[in-house]
Amino acid sequence: MLIKKNSEVPWSEITPRWLYLNRRKFLTGVFGLTAGALAGQTLRELAWPTQKVQAAKLSVAAKSPFSTTEQVTPYDDVTHYNNFYEFGTGKEDPAMNATRFQTSPWSVKVSGLVDKPRTFSVEELQKLAPLEERIYRHRCVEAWSIVVPWIGYSFSALLKEVSPQPKAKFVAFESYYSPSQMPLGSRAGIELPYIEGLRLDEAMHPLTLLCFGMFGESLPNQDGAPVRMVIPWKYGFKSIKSLVKIKLVEKKPDTTWNLANPVEYGFYSNVNPGVDHPRWSQAKERRLGEFFRRNTLMFNGYDQVASLYTGMDLRKNF
């Protein structure tokens, strides 16, 4: 009988660490619950009691029509299963290691090909447009997904404030990085600070969200406090966290994962179940809190962005 070595097993096929470590507790819970009670609990809730951190309440003007009606992923899953390599490469590391991350005061510099370059405080940014709650699907390249009630507004509102120049074709983003606050960043295996980019028309699309919170409160540190991007039709690593710099440029900017491994991570990174990651299939995904996999949707189900890529080969431009 042939046995696969660990290195040959794709990450998407590996049982999540939180479930593996708590498998006995989970099985005890399963057999001790009625079917009705089990339906109301996620696997993670059985493994870890929910521990909610204190956060500032955010005043939301309205629920966005862009919201999905799918069931929201539990808060504990969203805040304890993260990719934020500055605070460690394990999924549970950011929740443990970002507790003392200082996010106030905070500013975001907008520069480049704009008529009105400016540095905004987070408080100034929050006042540029009414805050909405947007329940978005969020798909990770590692074949897991979540549904989160994010709070923010369309990023286009910020761009209109600074007046992009005609030569501007792309938007480059940079996250905060401080070795003193993020000592584990030296072990991240990627160059820091983290950088990302979008085409200007992608950035101007109303689905592209400048995000300040989730679940009615400000963002937890491990989820990108105090301000981040959320681009729901792209894989999660495009939604840069802890944003400090935005620059409008004429040429396509570099991005962290594309620089680190261009064969596996393209500039566009649209959710496309027809293009496999070199080490695993993208055809299916596991929603956090669920055991069985579901089919991955093209553009993560956000078909309204399809026109942005008319005529493009989405296998070549992955």
Whether residue 70 is predicted with pLDDT greater than 90 in this model: the reply is yes
Furthest-apart CA atoms within the chain: distance in Å: 67
pLDDT averaged over every residue in the chain: 88
pLDDT in tens, 174-232: 999 999 999 999 999 999 999 999 999 999 999 999 999 999 999 999 999 999 999 99
The residue type of 83 is N
CATH, domain range 59-309: 3.90.420.10
pLDDT in tens, 249-288: 999 999 999 999 999 999 999 999 999 999 999 999 999 9
Please state, for a pLDDT cut of 70, what percent of the chain lies above it: 83
Question: Band of the pLDDT at 16, cuts 50, 70, 90?
Answer: low
Query: What is the SS3 string spanning the chain?
Result: CCCCCHHHCCHHHCCCHHHHHCHHHHHHHHHHCCHHHHHCCCHHHHHCCCCCCCCCECCCCEECCCCCCCCCCCHHHHHHCCCCHHHCCCCCHHHHHCCCCCCCCCEEEEEECECCCEEEEHHHHHCCCCCEEEEEEEECCCCEEEEEEEEEEECHHHHHHHCECCCCCEEEEEECCCCCCCHHHHHCCCCCCCEEEEEHHHHHCCCCEEEEEECCEECCHHHCCCCEEECCCECHHHCCCCEEEEEEECCCCCCHHHHHCCCCCCCCCECCCCCCECCECCCEEEECCCCCCEECCHHHHCHHHHHHHCCCCCCCCC
What pTM was computed for the model?
0.85
pLDDT score, position 18: 45
CB-based contact 272:309 (threshold 8 Å): no
Whether residue 34 is predicted with pLDDT greater than 70 in this model: the reply is no
Mean predicted confidence (pLDDT) in 309-316: 96
Domain boundaries, the chain: 11-49, 59-309
Question: Band of the pLDDT at 8, cuts 50, 70, 90?
Answer: very low
pLDDT score, position 253: 98
pLDDT score, position 257: 98
CB-based contact 147:135 (threshold 8 Å): yes
pLDDT in tens, 75-112: 999 999 999 999 999 999 999 999 999 999 999 999 99
Residue 198's DSSP bridge partners are 171
pLDDT score, position 55: 81
CB-based contact 46:27 (threshold 8 Å): no
Question: Band of the pLDDT at 128, cuts 50, 70, 90?
Answer: very high
Q: Give which of 144, 261, 249 is closest to 197, Cα–Cα.
A: 249
pLDDT in tens, 131-145: 999 999 999 999 999
Burial of 289 from C-beta contacts in 10 A (0-12 / 13-18 / 19+): buried
The residue type of 117 is P
The residue type of 65 is P
The residue type of 102 is Q
